[in-house]
Structure 1
Amino acid sequence: MVSAAARRPSAPDSSSAAIRHLAERGYDATTAEDLAEALGLSRSTFFRRFGSKDDVVFADHDHALAQLDGFLGSTSLAAPEALVEGTADVLRLLVRDPAAARQRFELMRHTPALRDRELVITHRYERVFDRYLREAQLPGTPEWVAPALAASLVSVHNATLRDWLRGREADAPRAVTRRLRQLVALYERWLSPSAAEGRRRVLVAVYDAEGSPEAVLGAVAAQLES
Structure 2
Amino acid sequence: MTASAPLDDWAAQAPQAAAVRYLAEHGYEQTTASALADAIGMSRSTFFRRYGSKEDVVFADHDLALASLQRQLESSDEIGYDEIVLGALEVTRLLTRDPAGARLRSEVLRSTPALRERELVITHRYERLFADFLQRKAIPGCPDWAPIALAAATVAVHNAALRRWLRNDDARVFSELERDLGELSERFRPWFGGEQRASKVVVAAFDADASPSEVLRAIAAQLD
Q: TM-score, normalised by structure 1?
A: 0.79
Q: How does 1:1-226 map to 2 (within 5 A)?
A: 9-10=9-10, 12-167=13-168, 169-195=170-196
1:66 CA drift (Å): 0.8
- Which amino acid letter does the alignment assign opposite residue 49 of structure 1? R
CA distance in 2 between partners of 1:169 and 1:187 (Å): 29
Cα deviation for residue 9 of structure 1 reads: 4.4
For residue 25 of structure 1, report the CA deviation from its aligned partner: 1.2
Q: Highest Rg: 1 or 2?
A: 1
C-alpha deviation, 1:133, in angstroms: 0.6
The 2-side partners of 1:148 and 1:14 are apart by: 37
Letter in 2 for 1:82: E
Mapped partners of 2:107, 2:101: distance in 1: 10
1:26 CA drift (Å): 1.2
- Is contact 1:91–1:172 with CA below 8 Å preserved after alignment? no
Q: What are the superposed Cα offsets for residues 143-200 of structure 1, whole Å, 9 maximum, x if unpaired?
A: 10011111111101100000101107324432321111011011111112433xx67x
CA offsets 1:191-222 (integer angstroms, 9 cap, x no match):
12433xx67xxxxxxxxxxxxxxxxxxxxxxx
What letter matches 2:42 in structure 1? L
**Superposition deviation, residue 80 in structure 1:** 1.9
Report if the CA contact (8 A) 1:169-1:175 is conserved. no
Deviation at 1:27, TM superposition (A): 1.1
Give me the TM-score of the superposition, normalised by structure 2.
0.80
> Relative to structure 1, is the Cα distance of residues 89 and 183 closer, same or farther in structure 2, using a 3 angstrom cutoff?
same
SS at structure 1 position matched to 2:195: helix
Q: Distance in 2 between matches of 1:183 and 1:9?
A: 32
Shift of 1:57: 0.5
Instruction: Write out the 4+ residue segments of structure 1 that deviate beyond 3 Å after TM superposition.
Output: 8-11
Alignment length (residue pairs): 190
Q: Is the contact between residue 137 and residue 193 of structure 2 (CA under 8 Å) also seen in structure 1?
A: no
State the partner residue of 2:219. Answer: none
Question: Is the contact between residue 19 and residue 56 of structure 1 (CA under 8 Å) also seen in structure 2?
Answer: yes
Deviations 1:93-125 (A, max 9, x none): 111111111111111111100100101101111
* In structure 2, C-alpha distance between the alignment counterparts of 1:132 and 1:33, rounded to whole Å: 40
State the secondary structure of the residue aligned to 2:171: coil
The sequence identity of aligned pairs, in percent, is 51
